[in-house]
Amino acid sequence: MWLWWLVALAVVVAAVLWLLWWPGWQRRHIMQQPFPAAWLVILQANLPYFSRLDQDQQRRLQQLLLWFLHSKTFIGCGGLQVSDEMRVTIAGEACLLVLHRTGHDYDQLRYIYLYPSAYQAPYRDVDAAGVVSDKLQARLGESWEDGKLVLSWDDVVRGSSDFSDGHNVVLHEFAHQLDQATGSSNGAPILRNPASYRRWAGVLSAEFEHLQQQARHGQHTVLSHYGATNPAEFFAVATEHFFEQPAAMQQQHPQLFTELRDYYGLDPQRLH
C-alpha cells in the first residue's frame, strides 16, 4: 500500500513541477524563434519609431512580439479578414509599452476583436433626472478586464501613421490593459516596487485634478481633456502623449513625464 501512495505522490509532484516549468519553457522557446522576414518589413513600414530603436531594443521587441502573437487570438468583426499586417502592427505598438518591463504584463489578455472602422457599442445612459436609457455609441476601441480588447483597424492605421499627434488607440487601450492587470481600472498599474506607489499616487492625482480644472475652463493643454473623465482614462491619455509628444509633456508636465519614464523604462524622445 505504501508503495502505491509513494508512486501517486511522485506523479502529483511531477505534474506540479511540469505545470510550473512548462509555461516558462514555452515562452522562452517561442521568443527564441527566428523572426519572419515579412513581419520585419511590416514593422519597418508601419511603425515609424522601430528604426530609431537600437539593435538590442529591436531584438527585444521582436521577441515580445513573437510571444504576443503566439498567445493572443485575433478575431475579425464586421466582415473584416484579419491579416498578418494587422496582427504585427498592433502587436508591435502593444509591445512597445512593455519593451523594458517583465514581458508578463499582457498575460491576462486572450482575445483581440478587430473591426474595420469605428463600431457601435451599447451603453446605459442616466440623465440628470435619473432616467435610464440604453443607447449606442461609436467607439474606436475598448479594453475589458476579462481578457478581451477591441480595436478599429482604420484608427489603428491612423494612429501608427502619425506618431506625433498624441492620439493612438493601440497605446490607449493597451495602457488600460496594464492598468487592469491589478484587478481594477483606476489609473494605478503594477509598479516596480512598493515605494513607487506613494509617489505615483501623489503626482498622478495632482495632474488629474489639474487637467479637470483645465477642462472645466476650456484651457488648452498637451493632454487631451478626455483624460479628465476618470483616473483610468487619465493614465491611458497620458500614455498616448508620453510616447507621441514626449518633449511637450516633459516641458509642461515634468513630474508626470518622469513617472511615466520610470514606469515604462525608456525616454520616448529618442524615438522622434
Question: For residue 3, is pLDDT > 90?
Answer: no
Under DSSP, the state recorded for 139 is E
Residue 214: CB atoms within 10 A of its CB come to 15
- For the segment 183-194, the average pLDDT, to the nearest whole number, is 88
Q: What is the pLDDT of residues 245-271, one digit of tens each?
A: 999 999 999 999 999 999 999 999 999
Q: What is the pTM of this model?
A: 0.87
Q: pLDDT digits over 191-227, tens only?
A: 988 888 999 999 999 999 999 999 999 998 899 999 9
The pLDDT value given to residue 126: 60
Compute the distance between CA of residue 45 and CA of residue 60 in angstroms, rounded to an integer. 18
Are 259 and 200 in contact by the 8 Å Cβ rule? The answer is: yes
The number of angstroms, rounded, from the C-alpha of 180 to the middle of its chain's C-alpha atoms is: 10
Q: Closest by alpha carbon to 89, among 107, 52, 71, 114?
A: 114
Decide: residue 132, CB within 10 A, 0-12 exposed, 13-18 middle, 19+ buried.
Answer: exposed
Q: Which amino acid is at 212?
A: Q
Q: Which amino acid is at 40?
A: L
The CATH class, in words, for 186-272 is alpha beta
